[in-house]
Amino acid sequence: MSKNSIIIDAMGGDNAPCAVVDGCYQALADLKDIQLILVGHKGRILECIEQKGYDRSLVEIVHAEDIITNHDSPVEAVKYKTDSSLVKCFHMLKSKEGDAVVSAGNSGAMLTGSVMLVGRIDGVKRPALGAVLPSPKGKTLLIDAGLNTNCRSENYVQFARFGSIYMNALYDIKEPTVRLLNVGAEEAKGNDDIKEAFQILKNTDLNFLGNAEGNEILGDSDVVATNGYTGNAILKFYESCGDVFFKFLQKAFTKNILTKASYFMIKKDLKEFKDSIDPDIHGGAPVLGIKELVMKSHGSSIGKTFKNVILKTNKLINAKIVTKLQNEFVT
């Protein structure tokens, strides 16, 4: 059985390249059946490897002289920064030199490069970012989580289809429940595109349960479809909650000797709570609707984040998520 090959944008993200290198070697310690190709400035990547004493032979390095920053125009960067790590990653993916790309770089450039250099699945209007939000009730896929700020009704319907296929493929949910994010449960609520999407969705074969308000996102359905503007705001707020709640609890439990004693008794449980919604553990969102697998990690990713995104990417390769999406949109 051949190894899954994952192409890594080593220069993407606030903490690149060393955090990316750390994550790659952490992933390799957990998985022996993957090949990792790091694309970026070879000298800087080698410095990170040497600083930690990692085995150089475990990874492949492809040199890229340039970097796409968060200040670059996505379209211009993809067109003119042809020797950048991200653009090289997409060219390698297009030419089948790997099974997936992982990057924590410029989101706009990722979408632009995915569409321009790799291509959309036939029939897909717009790709979308799908982010899983864990809760005590279960996992919910929020889609779109940041790529499309303005959406038409047909986009919401396709996002719902992406999400249903994704939750079935990754978590083996037989008929994922789907809702449309709105300001009320009634069919008449929302703008014209939302109302039209509602009417289309209720006549599809999806397990559509209607609208979801903001307090019904977590765990009440498997998929929540929205636009990227709203979705990204929700995702960023959600990702901040674990740390905020944990700090509130720490403050409450360190008021006096008795509360401090109680804190040490449940410290392990509190850590488990924090870990359950930690974006560094559960992060990593696929760009769904592209002909190959593209994974986005958040810009502030650390080594642990990259490790977990690589592990999730490997699962999605094995689940054949792209093939399943392509089969859905066969015309």
pLDDT score recorded for residue 331: 56
Greater model confidence, 135 or 306: 306
Cα–Cα distance measured from residue 173 to residue 132, given in angstroms and rounded to the nearest whole number? 14
Domain ranges of the chain: 1-124+289-331, 132-280
Same fold? 1-124+289-331, 132-280? yes
pLDDT score recorded for residue 209: 98
Instruction: Quickly list DSSP for 161-230.
Output: HHHHHHHHHHH--SS-EEEEE-SSSSTT-S-HHHHHHHHHHTTSSSEEEEEE-GGG-TTT-SEEE--HHH
pLDDT score recorded for residue 66: 98
Q: Report the predicted TM-score, pTM, of the whole model to 2 decimal places.
A: 0.93
Give the model's confidence band at 228: pLDDT under 50 very low, under 70 low, under 90 confident, else very high: very high
pLDDT at 330 over 80: no
Q: Domain 132-280, what fold?
A: Isopropylmalate Dehydrogenase (3.40.718)
Which class is domain 1-124+289-331? alpha beta
Give the model's confidence band at 1: pLDDT under 50 very low, under 70 low, under 90 confident, else very high: low
In the structure encoding, which two tokens stand for residue 236, read together?
């960023």
